[in-house]
Amino acid sequence: MSTHILAKPLRLLNYTLVRLPIVILRALILAPLCLWSFANWWHTARDVSHFYIDFPVWDYFATIEHYARYKAGDLTVFWTQHNEHRIVFPELIFAADLLWFRGQIVLPLVLSFSFYFGIWLTIVYALSCDSEIAVIPRYSAALLAAILLAWTGAAHPLASPILLQWTLSQFAAIVALAFLAKASRNHDPRWLVYCVTCGVIASYSSANGLTVWPLLIGLALCLRFGWRRISIILAAATFSICMYFIGYRQLGPIRWQVLLSHPTYLAKFVATYASMPFAFLRSEPEFAIHVGFVSLTALTLLFLQAWRKRMLFSPTGIILLGYAAFLLLSGVMIAAGRMNLDDPTFEDAKAVRFLTMPLSYWAMLAAALVWILARVRVVGTALSVTIVIALSLLLFRMSHKSAFAAFYHSVTESYATQQWAALAVENGVVDPNPDLILYPDARLVPRLLPILRAEKLCLFAKTEQSWIGRDATSIFRVSTQPPAHGGIVASHNLKTAVTLAGWTDVKNAKIVLIDESNRIVGLGEHLPAGLPKCFETLTTPLDLQWVGFVNRSYGSQIVSPYIVAADQRSLSPIPTQFKIEP
């Protein structure tokens, strides 16, 4: 009787003793990876918010030229070529932002980040399709992919609205592969329709999206879809590619002849592209080439192992390895348009605007490596866990390299300069200073700015812009509270304005600059990305700094800074003045 009573607790104790080491091992491996991946994504999201600019700059500025056609419902505007791309679907998002959200540029950035995060979710789905992988390898592969996708510098392309075309084409391509994998196991025609639809979206988001069609056709043939389903994909591919080139303007020579006649240079170009962002660790071009070739060799071995183990055409293999092939084909497309045989450093392959693609490539490579090793008989789980630990230590060590800090600094400096240029526009400052250039064609800016002002789009939707030139007492009352702490610490003379840098203990303060006649002659604010180049030597804590402009057209001699209250009804003086030199 006593034995029967003790049997259940003993079984429970035995089960606990057996499972406890496994639980501890999972916690020791997965918990740090989980925290690291969360930290990387949190920093990326924070940087995107810090780099935000409520004004279109560079390539995105040209979308303002289409505003009247958006408003008139002219659908032909979406067929307008952007460089060598057809960006029909990104342009639909740009139009929605201008028409429904006053061009605040929040919608493109939120969607771009969402599409990029969606790539990781699709990787997670791909790994979940293989029920034979142990828990630790499956979750480790997903978390390593998350860490690499949100690596240093990912925020640069995600914070640029025009680069939505890359994240959208990437997301559409991997989802097309996921639907193809679903169609391989389920003959419901809707999965094939979804696959083809995503292929069309990828094609008309960016030119590299066209490379998804040979992948889909090749995979459909290997999966023995049957001629009826293959003909559907063939018809969609033929229609999409033929339509793409209707009215297409070739902007430069097609370099396929150059590619085929210089295969060594092409291989080095693609290897350099694939090595990003780890190419920044060393300045020598050979280092980037070696890193790229090592990764390509590893990917080739993974393809062969997946083929040998009959894993290549499983849903996980279709998504992971198919997407890796898409990213490499995109690299070949980039080489076709930008390969320069006179450049031994392969700088065009390192362009930061393409960074989401090599980051996705590395994420896919890490996930595929862990997945395939986990399927090796007997020692698979142990081998994959060892690789996870080794990769994690290597990545963690690299993440602290000063080269990445220098790269990150260059990114933040670029966005700080653009925020400074946008603040100049808000102050009505048009100056020939190179750092204040909004668009390479100087004639386009003065032609489109009146449209933005009249329609109250972008930063002109804010009430602050209407304060400039008005008597301060007609808008605000001066606070009776003690003056705020702060001051003006530096100035920089421009041809048409003076830009000031100051500080205040009120974080993220809005500043108005008032002259001796009590007139508001300038606005200032905290720039989340940091200070522009002309003030980069200042040592004031970043979160206390502000930058402003005084337009010389007002003829002011002395200006004083005031902090605008949160209710925008009163001002608090900063006890300092600045004399404007003629």
CATH code at position 519: 2.60.40.10
Judge if 406 and 478 occupy the same domain. Answer: no
109: which residues sit within 8 A by CB, 6+ positions away?
Answer: 48, 52, 158, 159, 161
Is 80 exceeded by the pLDDT of residue 379?
no
Q: What is the mean pLDDT of the chain?
A: 85
Judge if 492 and 565 occupy the same domain. Answer: yes
Least Cα distance to 195 among 241, 229, 224 occurs for 229
Least Cα distance to 105 among 57, 157, 173, 138 occurs for 57
Identify the band that residue 253 occupies on the pLDDT scale cut at 50, 70 and 90: low
Tell me what percent of the residues of the chain surpass a pLDDT of 90. Answer: 33
Residue 388: inside a domain: yes
| Spatial distance between the Cα atoms of 374 and 142, rounded to a whole number of angstroms | 13
Judge if 366 and 513 occupy the same domain. Answer: no
Judge if 301 and 157 occupy the same domain. Answer: yes
* Pairing of β 578-579 and β 81-82: unpaired
Q: Could you give the number of structural domains in the chain?
A: 2
What is the DSSP code (8-state) at residue 581? P
Q: Crossing angle for the helix pair 164-185 and 315-338, nearest 10 degrees?
A: 150
Token duo for residue 412: 């933040």
9: which residues sit within 8 A by CB, 6+ positions away?
Answer: none
Residue 480: inside a domain: yes
Residue 360's alpha-carbon distances to 34, 44, 69, 346, in angstroms, are: 18, 15, 35, 20
Q: Is 97 or 261 the better-scoring residue by pLDDT? A: 97
Residue 442: inside a domain: no
Q: Which amino acid is at 228?
A: R
Are 477 and 571 a contacting pair, CB within 8 Å?
yes
| Spatial distance between the Cα atoms of 328 and 325, rounded to a whole number of angstroms | 5
pLDDT reported for residue 1: 44
Which residue, of 386, 410, 434, is where some domain finishes? Answer: 410
Are 404 and 280 a contacting pair, CB within 8 Å?
yes
Is 90 exceeded by the pLDDT of residue 402?
no
Residue 443: inside a domain: no
Token duo for residue 221: 């043939």
pLDDT reported for residue 124: 95
Judge if 134 and 213 occupy the same domain. Answer: yes
Domain that residue 487 falls in: 468-579
Residue 403: inside a domain: yes
Query: pLDDT per residue over 165-215, tens digit each?
Result: 999 999 999 999 999 999 988 888 899 999 999 999 999 999 899 999 999
Q: Which residues of 116-149 are buried (b: 16+ CB within 10 A; e: fewer)?
A: bbbbbebbbbbbebbeebbebbbbbbbbbbbbbb
Q: Tabulate helix, strand, coil % of the chain (nearest 5).
A: 65, 10, 25
pLDDT reported for residue 8: 55
| Spatial distance between the Cα atoms of 57 and 229, rounded to a whole number of angstroms | 45
| Spatial distance between the Cα atoms of 258 and 266, rounded to a whole number of angstroms | 9
Judge if 405 and 489 occupy the same domain. Answer: no
Residue 462: inside a domain: no
Judge if 475 and 403 occupy the same domain. Answer: no
Is 50 exceeded by the pLDDT of residue 231?
yes
Residue 454: inside a domain: no
Token duo for residue 184: 């391989």
Distance of CA 573 to the CA centre of its chain: 40
Residue 458: inside a domain: no
Judge if 400 and 521 occupy the same domain. Answer: no
Tell me what percent of the residues of the chain surpass a pLDDT of 70. Answer: 92
Identify the band that residue 10 occupies on the pLDDT scale cut at 50, 70 and 90: very low
pLDDT reported for residue 204: 94
Q: Average pLDDT of 428-453?
A: 78
Judge if 478 and 406 occupy the same domain. Answer: no
Query: pLDDT per residue over 306-346, tens digit each?
Result: 998 888 899 999 999 999 999 999 998 888 877 777 788 88
Tokens 């031994």 belong to: 344
| Spatial distance between the Cα atoms of 93 and 209, rounded to a whole number of angstroms | 18
Judge if 174 and 320 occupy the same domain. Answer: yes
Judge if 404 and 525 occupy the same domain. Answer: no
Judge if 154 and 248 occupy the same domain. Answer: yes
Is 90 exceeded by the pLDDT of residue 233?
yes
